[in-house]
Chains A and B, each alone.
Chain A
Amino acid sequence: MVRNGIKKLYMFIMLLFLYAPIIVLIIYSFNDSRSRGTWKGFTLKWYAELFTNSDILTALYYTILIAVLSSVISTIVGTFAAIGIYGMKNGFAKNTVLNLNYLPVLNPDIVTAVSLMTLFKFLRLEFGFTTLLLSHITFCIPYVILSVLPKLRQMNKHLPEAAMDLGATPFYALRKVVIPEIMPGIVSGALIAFTLSIDDFVISFFNKGVGVTNLSITIYSMARRGINPVINALSTLMFVILLVLLIIINKKDQKDLNPKKVR
């Protein structure tokens, strides 16, 4: 039981580490001063201001929309790509694809941003929602592939072959055998894609068009004048909503799963 206690303590410390800044953020969303430097008393005015600030709400909307779309699309494309790459014979072609796949992970944001911007200009695409989405998908896919590949390597190679020997079509084998096996990899890939998309500033800034914006752009461009605490209020609300959703899903999962899983 001591081991268990150590485990719990360790997880607690790690979560405290991750949530410490979030707690600060939440506390300062109730600060009556515009500055984080001083505490001038409790207020709810930033929350009231939030709902009249249509710019921030539009930015929030685009942020979520882009994050959901780009993580869904890049997860689908990335998962298939990973399966395909896994199926390729070792050699020059496979290595090239894998190495190219690293580039968006490796490059500083500004290089990815500027090179995509030049590409879109060259393709004569109008900067706007589409270019923004395309750029997000581009930097998300490599992360999905990176997350799915180790799961494929871990899978018993003969599993899909056995399924096909037993008469399954490749697609059926994929759906019923491979995908369930690599699911944790797909889920982490999707989570990473969502995380990257929701928090991206540089690439979004240079690849968006007039009238399209996201929260990162709004926040970074406020920095010169000091970030409006309305943003803290928004983050607090987002965080609370996420936490509540998490608790609901957790409760539901426990109910759904427990009767079935006898262990």
Chain B
Amino acid sequence: MKMKIFSYPYMLWLAIFIVVPLILVLLYAVTVTEGGSITFTIENLRRFLDPNYIDVLWISIKLALETTVITLILGYPIGMIIAKEKPSRRNTMILLFVIPMWMNFLLRTYAWLTLLGKNGIINYFITLLGFEPMNLLYNDGAVLLGMVYNFLPFMVLPIYSVLAKIDYSLIEAAEDLGANKYQIFTKVTLPLSVPGIITGITMVFMPAVSTFVISRLLGGGQYMLIGNLIEQQFLWVGDWHFGSAISIIMMIFILIAMAITSKFDTQKEGSSGLW
């Protein structure tokens, strides 16, 4: 099949807008500027081996993993329910889940502060019901809530799109062969939706590792995350070299993590690597 020619324009794009910048970042990572002259060094990469930095990377990955798992658990049923709707209603439903994300991120996150605060709206209802107000803000729960909130649609969309056109004859066949609902789900629907799940995990986990604004705003700045560290280097300290080194190390870590994930991909069709 000659389908691969369709990717040629993108290859060109990839080369200019992704490969060249990547090389730039790599160059920054392995050099230092001293008094106008540039020298090669691995010092930047070595500096990252400080336990403090490793800790930051670990916390970021852990938070991203937790976010991914929760969005998957919450998002899968949503994708499934929408996929089973009448075709005419599906688009509306899916848009309903996306539109909140079209409102500005900062406004939405600030609104969470108003909701979760000590004198916030949720605590107002809690006291109205006669309970003691709770500490909802500036803890792990608040950070996780904010992360799940922002990434949920990115999990729902790919899962929905895969489930939307599942071959129903397979499900009917399973029914005819006497499978119950639980069996149909675990043996037919779930395996068929694996490609969607993998995409969903990718689209949630990868960006989640490097975001930090949510944890800063809802976690009360108590967490230092890898994205935070990188931004500090680029903007505040002005050390683009070290900032690039951190992001290269992070990239390597995540790509390895994703390669491991793809091992769980049962529908491999002989492909190797991440897909």
Measured CB to CB, the residues of A under 8 A from B are: 7, 10-11, 14-15, 17-22, 24-25, 28, 36, 77-78, 80-88, 90-91, 94-95, 97-112, 114-116, 118-119, 134, 138, 141, 143, 145-147, 149-151, 153-154, 160-161, 164, 170, 174, 181, 184-185, 187-188, 191-192, 194-195, 198-199, 201, 215-216, 219-220, 223, 227, 231-232, 235, 238-239, 242-243, 246, 249-250, 253-254, 256-258, 261
Contact = CB atoms under 8 A, between A and B. Distances in A.
B88 A90 contact: no
B32 to A, nearest CB: 17
A231 B107 CA distance: 9
Given A102-B258, A105-B202, A150-B195, A90 B2 contact: no
Contacts of B17: 116, 119, 134, 138
Contact of B158 (A84, A119, A188): A188
Contacts of A134: 17
A106 B108 contact: no
B207 A106 contact: yes
Contacts of B158: 146-147, 150, 185, 188
Given A98-B274, A118-B24, A261-B87, A198 B121 contact: no
A36 B115 CA distance: 11
A180 B229 CA distance: 44
A153 B267 contact: yes
A110 B152 contact: no
Contact of A85 (B7, B203, B210, B244): B7
B1 A111 contact: no
8 contacts: A25-B111, A84-B6, A87-B7, A97-B7, A110-B234, A154-B162, A154-B192, A253-B91
Interface string B186-222: 0000001001101100110011011110000000000
B269 A184 contact: no
Contacts of B174: none
A254 B92 CA distance: 11
Interface residues of B, number: 102
B58 interface: no
B3 to A, nearest CB: 3
Contacts of A227: 106-107, 110
A232 B2 CA distance: 51
B78 A11 contact: yes
Contact of B108 (A22, A84, A110): A22
B250 to A, nearest CB: 8
Interface string B89-107: 1011011111111111111
B91 A87 contact: no
B92 A146 contact: no
B135 to A, nearest CB: 18
A186 to B, nearest CB: 9
Interface in B148-186: 149, 152-154, 157-158, 160-162, 164-166
A118 B10 contact: no
Closest 4 CB pairs of A and B: A84-B7, A87-B3, A150-B195, A81-B10
B161 A184 contact: yes
B165 A80 contact: no
Contact of A195 (B87, B110, B153): B153
Contacts of B273: 90, 94-95, 98-99
Interface in B229-264: 230-231, 234-235, 240, 243-244, 247, 250-251, 254-255, 258
